Amino acid sequence: MKKSVKAMRKTILIFTINTTMTSCMSLILGTSFLIKYTLISGQERWGIYRQNIELYLFEMNRHQ
């Protein structure tokens, strides 16, 4: 009986850790894609728009 309770707790712990790690990695990956493809750098803004335009996504700029 004790082994099954420990196994169940270990399974739940491992599942929780895996879910948390997946969420964190998705957040990091999503942020990286936003920075790389959505919010372009200052040099690229000058090249595309010919002026210094501030770009925002969800009321945040590239550095927030």
pLDDT greater than 90 at residue 36: no
Instruction: Show me where the domains of the chain are located.
Output: 2-49
Tell how far CA 26 is from the center of its chain. Answer: 5
pLDDT band at 35 (very low <50, low <70, confident <90, very high): confident
Write down the pTM of the prediction: 0.54
Tell how far CA 61 is from the center of its chain. Answer: 15
3-state percent helix, strand, coil for the chain, nearest multiple of 5: 70, 5, 25
What pLDDT shows up at residue 19? 97
The pLDDT mean for the chain works out to: 79
